[in-house]
Structure 1
């Protein structure tokens, strides 16, 4: 099994079996299991695998997004969105600091046919619609998530 596949398999195994609250903790677990990887690689892996960090009691934990595509996740994502705005060609979503990538992953996983792509920073997401006419539709869909 190639290294990336083996690492992804181990990451999935760990986040489904344990409560892992930080990338640092997950990196330590992976290193103890013989996977020598960097934080940047781990961050890309989590994004590719659709693994998101969600509240867990007074802390956080990582979960496979598609395994927990519940109303609770939608509500959490809705709380992380501060505002949504648009012009003729793009939609901009403002989020809580550090949450733009998680929200963008959630939006990408919705597989909305009107979204060509998303670009996330720390606290903002740019959404490119498939047509100018669909920007308002996307704004309304995101506002539904917020409420």
Structure 2
């Protein structure tokens, strides 16, 4: 079994040095380097590491280690800056969030990671996210968080 931290370190190096266009390229480059990985493990690592596809290539969003909770929240907002292109309320229990192409799953994961009590769940496509919320008040709170990430 490959230690996860080592595998992820290699993945980050490959993304930085080769700018792969798809996950199959990442898998091939890792295998060429002697790592036995699957596309599924690469996909999980890409999600966990905040690696996104932008302008046709994978890139690392943020290399900084997580700090205390308040610093982590500020860091999260910084990472999201530039990824969210719009957010709006639809009905009383749904938000629609638009992102740059390829960033929706990263932004949805960030919403999930914030453990926002008001957000029931997220569903991400390529550049659109649906965020289900508990109430109209919750909708406003989550919308304010998302808009703070846009500033």
Give TM-score, length-normalised by structure 2. 0.70
Segments of 5+ residues of structure 1 without an aligned counterpart are none
Conservation of the 8 A alpha-carbon contact between 1:92 and 1:124? yes
How well do the aligned residues superpose, as a CA RMSD in angstroms? Answer: 3.1
Deviation of 1:102 after TM superposition, in Å, equals 1.2
Deviation of 1:139 after TM superposition, in Å, equals 0.7
Which residue is 1:53 aligned to? Answer: 51
Give TM-score, length-normalised by structure 1. 0.72
Q: Quick one: structure 1 residues 15 and 42, their matched pair in 2 at CA, closer, same or farther if it must change by over 3 Å?
A: closer
Deviation digits for residues 49-95 of structure 1 (CA, Å, limit 9, x no counterpart): x211269xxx8326578648474652341211111111201111011
Conservation of the 8 A alpha-carbon contact between 2:88 and 2:143? yes
**How many residues matched?**
136
Which residue is 2:42 aligned to? Answer: 42
Which residue is 1:146 aligned to? Answer: 150
Give the alignment partner of residue 95 of structure 1, picking from 94, 99, 106: 99
Deviation of 1:126 after TM superposition, in Å, equals 0.6
Distance 1:133 1:12 in 2: 39
Distance 2:121 2:73 in 1: 23
Conservation of the 8 A alpha-carbon contact between 1:12 and 1:64? no
